[in-house]
């Protein structure tokens, strides 16, 4: 753990490929802050040299007389000022793996539309709640490693556009049903089962608003297709290129298309304990909608035909019974 009097700060510079996110239409930059031994390490990624900032210039922002998070906060402000001066639409993603106290101290440095990823495995309920509460102004929140305390709960677990939880046992279906215009939601290690997903699908079909663009659910038990789509009209499709390009390849995947009453399409991938639903599609998929409508009409007519056949069978039984009775009377 870091001591408050330690001020040995080293900087790591990593060059990553450009990360252009469709929702922002501009370049993103990652600021990594984590501890290693007695050092606090700060790394800038995502096109650091695109902004033509030298290592010497960056290190000149450090005041070695200051200590701990306050020094890091000053560096963050300097980074932000220089980057924003060069590109006003820059997005910052702050990646933290520091002691809990420093997480709280650095939280005010996360600005509106920033992204925040906290790599800690353990945090108190109070700290987690504060981070989630403060994240409503963000575009991205991630706890990929956090082991949420037993009994943890929050009434708004999806506070911003994109959310990733590596341990989402506490997130309920009702939380997802309450979403409006969210982005990508990733929930791993959940207790969800097929009937819970089915409830979500039935709700989505009748909703006349967008809930999310992409939903990823990873569970502890295998999904059952018949229970997953109970009461939901689906078109199962092969893993052709126009479908596969929307998902990561997973062994044993099955792909489905569903259609809402307001004529919105969703692609679904199911693979063992993985469920993924994509509602924001790029490209023209009207042909799939037409196929689903035709399939629904076919199934409706088949149902009507079965009903007519049952009625006819009943009439035949009644007719045969009537003839038998008449025959008995005549005898």
List, for residues 13-37, the tens digit of each pLDDT value.
333 222 322 222 334 556 666 555 5
Please indicate, yes or no, if residue 174 is contained in any of the structural domains.
Answer: no
Q: Could you tell me the CA-to-CA distances from 282 to 76, 171, 184, 186, 278 in Å, in that order? A: 36, 29, 15, 20, 10
Q: Report the distance separating Cα 165 and Cα 118, nearest Å.
A: 10
Q: Report the distance separating Cα 287 and Cα 259, nearest Å.
A: 12
Helix-then-strand count for the chain, H and E: 9, 14
pLDDT at 48 over 50: no
> If pLDDT is split at 50, 70 and 90, which confidence band does 59 have?
low
Find all residues with CB under 8 Å of 319, minimum gap 6, and list them. Answer: none
> If pLDDT is split at 50, 70 and 90, which confidence band does 184 have?
very high
Higher pLDDT: 213 or 241? It is 213
Please indicate, yes or no, if residue 145 is contained in any of the structural domains.
Answer: yes
- The rounded radius of gyration (Å) of the Cα atoms in the chain is 28
Residue ranges making up the domain that contains 75:
1-167
Q: Under a CB-based contact definition with an 8 Å cutoff, are residues 1 and 99 in contact?
A: yes
Mean pLDDT of the chain: 78
pLDDT for residue 213 = 93
Per-residue model confidence as pLDDT tens digits over 266-314:
999 999 999 999 998 766 677 777 777 887 777 778 888 888 888 888 8
Percent of the chain with pLDDT over 90: 36
Mean pLDDT within 130-144: 94
Per-residue model confidence as pLDDT tens digits over 216-273:
999 998 999 999 999 998 888 877 767 777 888 888 899 898 888 888 889 999 999 9
Find all residues with CB under 8 Å of 144, minimum gap 6, and list them. Answer: 117, 119, 164, 166
Name the β-bridge partners of 88: none
pLDDT for residue 44 = 56
Mean pLDDT within 177-197: 95
pLDDT for residue 8 = 37
pLDDT for residue 64 = 45
Please indicate, yes or no, if residue 284 is contained in any of the structural domains.
Answer: no
Please indicate, yes or no, if residue 296 is contained in any of the structural domains.
Answer: no
Higher pLDDT: 299 or 180? It is 180
Output b/e per residue, 65-89; b: 16+ Cβ within 10 A. Answer: eebbbebbbebbebbbeebeeeeee
Q: What is the DSSP letter of 224?
A: -
pLDDT for residue 297 = 78
> If pLDDT is split at 50, 70 and 90, which confidence band does 138 have?
very high
Name the β-bridge partners of 217: 187, 275
pTM (whole model) above 0.85: no
The number of folded domains in the chain is 1
Q: Report the distance separating Cα 44 and Cα 55, nearest Å.
A: 11
Please indicate, yes or no, if residue 199 is contained in any of the structural domains.
Answer: no
pLDDT for residue 90 = 72
Please indicate, yes or no, if residue 90 is contained in any of the structural domains.
Answer: yes
Tell me the helix, strand and coil percentages in the chain, rounded to 5.
35, 25, 40
Please indicate, yes or no, if residue 211 is contained in any of the structural domains.
Answer: no
Please indicate, yes or no, if residue 182 is contained in any of the structural domains.
Answer: no
Q: Could you tell me the CA-to-CA distances from 321 to 308, 325, 331 in Å, in that order? A: 20, 6, 16
Q: Report the distance separating Cα 134 and Cα 115, nearest Å.
A: 12
Q: What is the DSSP letter of 22?
A: T
How does DSSP assign 250-270, residue by residue? -TT-EEEEEE-TTS-EEEEEE
Q: Report the distance separating Cα 85 and Cα 113, nearest Å.
A: 17
């Amino acid at each position: 753990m870091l001591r408050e009097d330690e001020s040995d700060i080293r900087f790591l510079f990593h060059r990553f490929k450009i990360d252009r996110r469709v929702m922002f239409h501009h370049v993103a930059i990652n600021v990594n802050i984590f501890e290693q031994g007695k050092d606090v390490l700060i790394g800038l990624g995502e096109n650091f040299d695109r902004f033509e900032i030298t290592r010497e210039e960056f290190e000149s922002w450090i005041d070695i007389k200051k200590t701990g998070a306050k020094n890091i906060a000053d560096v963050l402000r300097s980074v932000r000022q220089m980057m924003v001066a060069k590109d006003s639409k820059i997005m910052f993603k702050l990646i933290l793996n520091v002691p809990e106290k420093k997480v709280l101290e650095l939280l005010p440095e996360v600005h509106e539309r920033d992204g925040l990823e906290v790599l800690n495995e353990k945090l108190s309920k109070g700290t987690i709640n504060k981070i989630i509460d403060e994240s409503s102004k963000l575009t991205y929140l991630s706890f990929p490693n956090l082991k949420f305390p037993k009994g943890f709960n929050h009434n708004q677990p999806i506070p911003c556009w994109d959310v990733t939880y590596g341990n989402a046992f506490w997130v309920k279906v009702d939380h997802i049903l309450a979403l409006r215009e969210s982005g990508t939601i990733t929930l791993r290690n959940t207790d969800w089962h097929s009937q819970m997903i089915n409830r979500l699908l039935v709700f989505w079909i009748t909703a006349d608003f967008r809930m999310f663009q992409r939903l990823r659910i990873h569970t502890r038990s295998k999904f059952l297709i018949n229970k997953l789509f109970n009461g939901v009209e689906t078109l199962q499709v092969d893993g052709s290129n126009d479908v596969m390009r929307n998902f990561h390849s997973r062994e044993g995947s099955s792909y489905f298309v569903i259609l809402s009453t307001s004529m919105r399409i969703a692609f679904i991938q199911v693979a063992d304990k993985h469920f993924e639903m994509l509602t924001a599609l790029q490209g023209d998929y009207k042909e799939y909608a037409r196929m689903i409508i035709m399939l629904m009409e076919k199934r409706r007519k088949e149902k009507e035909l079965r009903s007519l056949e049952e009625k006819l069978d009943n009439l035949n039984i009644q007719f045969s019974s009537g003839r038998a009775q008449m025959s008995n009377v005549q005898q």
